[in-house]
Structure formats: C-alpha cells, structure tokens
Structure 1
Amino acid sequence: MLKLHHLNHSRSFRVYWLLEELGLPFEVVRHERHPETRMGPPALKAAHPIGKAPALETEDGVMVESGAIIDYILRRHGDGGLVPADDSPDLMRYLEWMHIAVSIGTMPIMLKVYGLAAGLAGTAFDERADAEFTSVLNYIEQSLEGRDYLLGDRFSVADIQVSFVAELARALIGIDAYPNMQAWLGRVHARPSFRATIAKGGEYAYAS
C-alpha cells in the first residue's frame, strides 16, 4: 500500500487530494511544521535523504517531489479519466499546466520569500519576482475565460496542480482582480475529494 508522508500547509496536500480523487487506498504519516521556523521536522529525513514532503513510500522505493509523485501515481495506478489521452488535442495544454505548476508558477514566490528573508523587499529583485508571478496569474485568468476548468468543461489533474499557484496568490496578494480564477478555485475546492482531504489531512492554510 502507498504511504504518504504529509506535511501541513505544503504541496503534499495536492498528492493527498489526488489519492482521494482516485479513490486509492493509502496510509498517511502526518508531519507538522516547526511553529517558528515553519520548516518540516527532522523526521522527514528518516523517510527520504532529502527530508522534504511530500514523500511517497511505494513498492518500488521512496520518492519526493510532488510533480514526480503525481506522475508516478497516474502511471502506476491509473488516471481515473483525469488525464487527456495521448492523441487528445488537450494533451499539449495539460502538460504545459503540469509543468507551470511546479516551475514558473511557483518560482517567483520562492524567490520573493527568500528575497524578503535577505532584506531585498522593494528592490529590483523583489519587483521582478512580482512581475513574473503576475504574468503567470494573468495567463491562468485568460485561460479560464469561458471555461469551468483549465482544459474546458473537464476537471483534470492539471486543476489539482495549478490550484496551489492560485491558493498562494490568494493568500499572499489576493485575487480579487482575477474573477475567473476566483470562480474556478471555488469550483475545484467544492469537489468531495478536496473536502475529504481537508477533513482528513489536517491544517491547510490555503484552503480558504
């Protein structure tokens, strides 16, 4: 059985959500962030040498990185119809979203957080990070025009992945200027699998 090492307020929520959406059996090992440093506990090192969450224990070994974990789950356990077929015209956009979510969608926020810690608030570095993040948010907003989900009228794993970007935006800068994103986030958060993850997975600061 799969075993998920789950850290509160982290990207492991997305893996938890996918497992719930697919209805797969899995065990959960809960980890809590340090209340002051907000870092994960040393116990994560016992699961994987990098010591990050999510970590997934599988029959093949233990792995980290939420994007890689999601890809592994889909390949090994089926996608539940949540991934476009290889010959679908939606495949290109699906793959783009899956990679945006773990690269240019979150990188500006990481740069901004580290920049603030280094005393770079208000500098050109900080302003560039803001501009990069705004560009991604504008793309999400435009892509959702006239659509219920990122791929149109069909919920997919891309919605799970990219929701984290929108959740960060809402928590850090607000998304009142992005009505399509607001409506979409409410839509995906209303799914029973999301609500089940909230109920079982513990604290998640970006849920509302």
Structure 2
Amino acid sequence: MTLIVHHLGISQSERVVWLCEELGVDYELKKYTRSPLLAPPEFKALHPLGSAPVIEDGHVKLAESGACVEYIAQIYGKGRFIIAPGHKDYAEYLYWFHFANASFQSALMRDLAVRSLGLGATGDGTGRSGEISKRFKTKFSSMLTMMNDRLAKVPWLAGEQFTTADIMLVCCLTTMRCFNPYDLGEYENILAYLARVSARDGYRRAMQKGDPELDITLLVSATSPSWPSA
C-alpha cells in the first residue's frame, strides 16, 4: 500500500508533505484548493471535521497534523527526526513539538477569531476590545522572544538536531502569516533559523509540490507574506 497524503493548500498540512520529503517516503500527494478560504466539499468528506491534513495508509485513516507527523516518523521513518527518552534533549524536543499547536498556533487562531469578530483594538486602544488586543500582543511577543532566545543557543528547537518539532512549528512562522500577519523584524535568531529551514532540500521540494504559489523567500522574510493571487 502507498501512503496517501491529502493536502489542503496553504495550510498546516504542509507539515506532512515536508516530513515525507525529508524522509524520502514513497507517497501519493492529493492536493485540494480552498474555496475560497475553507476546505472544499471533497476534502470535508474525508473526515467528520473536514480538517487538514488527512493521511491514508492501508486501513488507517488519520487526521490532526501532530498525529500524522508522529505516525509517519515512527512507521516510515523508524524514529528518524524524533528524539527518544534518555537523550539529553528529549524534554526540549517534547516541549517544542507540543508548543507548536498547543500554545503558538492556538494563540494565532484565537487572535484571528477575535479580529474577525471586530473585537480587536480600535481608536486609542482602550475599553474591552483594546484590553483583549493588548493582552494577546503581550503574550504573543513573549512567545516570540522565548523562541528567539532559544535559537540564540541552538540551531534547531530541540537542540543540535533537526526534528519533527521544527516541522511542527515552522508553518506558524511562515504560511500562517498569510492568514494572521505579524512582523519578525525584531527577532534575528528566528529569521536566521528560517533561513536554515529554507535551505533544506526537503522543505524546498515540499513547498514546490504542495504550495508552489507561495514564494519561499517571502515566507521566511521579516514581513508577512500576502495571500497569493489567484
């Protein structure tokens, strides 16, 4: 059986495509285009929540990007790009792998929802909406500073090794900024990290196959990339 990766364009499912390219996995890529921003009906039919990514491996059908990444790394990669218990960087690996979705991406999505409802700061930034926006900005800046400080000490989030923790987090620093723009100009270590990512053959192949409309140079720059034109 060939592993099938159902990839929704310009989404977190790029993580799975990237991992497959890094591992050199033989897989079938099925791409879906947003209509216009939401998943099309044929993608929603794959999973009750209609969320990307979805992978199929024989009788296995799995969603949730973290679960898909772990499954492929364990089953197809035999633990490659995973740090095992007993290694000195095991705790760091666990933290950054789960930080990506549990803290960082969830913060981005909450902020996007708040702003979509018109609850962001307006005028002089006072009042309830201003307080919500101020609180988010403070917390989010703390997250970026924490990442920047970490990357001043090590080349990759878990330490000296590139791991699936990097695969989980990078799209929040790149592709997700098409949805929720933010600037990275103050964070030189994050920008240097993204430059290392963009130099990886696996990342470049994955983005070319999965999201060729996205310019890698813009994705890893300090300013947010704009939504690609149709």
Is the pair's TM-score, using the shorter chain for normalization, greater than 0.5?
yes
Native 8 Å contact 2:11 2:52 kept in 1: yes
User: 2:150 is matched with which residue?
Assistant: 143
Are positions 1:128 and 2:135 aligned together?
A: yes
Q: Give distance in 2, aligned partners of 1:53 and 1:148.
A: 29
Native 8 Å contact 2:16 2:53 kept in 1: yes
Once the two structures are TM-superposed, the CA of residue 81 in structure 1 deviates from its matched residue by: 3.2
Are positions 1:28 and 2:29 aligned together?
A: yes
Q: Give distance in 2, aligned partners of 1:206 and 1:50.
A: 29
Once the two structures are TM-superposed, the CA of residue 169 in structure 1 deviates from its matched residue by: 5.5
Native 8 Å contact 2:14 2:171 kept in 1: no
Q: TM-score, normalised by structure 2?
A: 0.83
Task: Note the aligned Cα RMSD (angstroms).
Answer: 1.8
Q: Give distance in 1, aligned partners of 2:158 and 2:78.
A: 15
1:177-201 Cα offsets, whole Å, 9 max, x none, are 0000000011011100011112211
Native 8 Å contact 2:207 2:214 kept in 1: no
User: 2:16 is matched with which residue?
Assistant: 15
Cα gap change, 1:189 to 1:101, in 2 (>3 Å)? same
Native 8 Å contact 2:73 2:80 kept in 1: no
Residue type of the partner of 2:192? A
Cα gap change, 1:202 to 1:169, in 2 (>3 Å)? closer
1:40-92 Cα offsets, whole Å, 9 max, x none, are 11111221222111111122421111011111112212246311222101110
5+ residue gaps in structure 1? none
5+ residue gaps in structure 2? 122-128, 220-230
The percent of aligned pairs where both chains have the same amino acid is 33
User: 1:53 is matched with which residue?
Assistant: 52
Q: Give distance in 2, aligned partners of 1:73 and 1:98.
A: 15
Q: How many residues align?
A: 206
Are positions 1:176 and 2:189 aligned together?
A: no
1:9-66 Cα offsets, whole Å, 9 max, x none, are 100001100010011111111101123xx11111112212221111111224211110
User: 2:197 is matched with which residue?
Assistant: 188
Displacement over 3 Å in runs of 4+:
168-171, 203-207
Superposition map of 1:20-99 within 5 A: 20-35=21-36, 38-79=37-78, 81-99=80-98
Residue type of the partner of 2:20? L
Residue type of the partner of 1:181? I
Cα gap change, 1:70 to 1:204, in 2 (>3 Å)? farther
Residue type of the partner of 1:17? W
Native 8 Å contact 2:4 2:28 kept in 1: yes
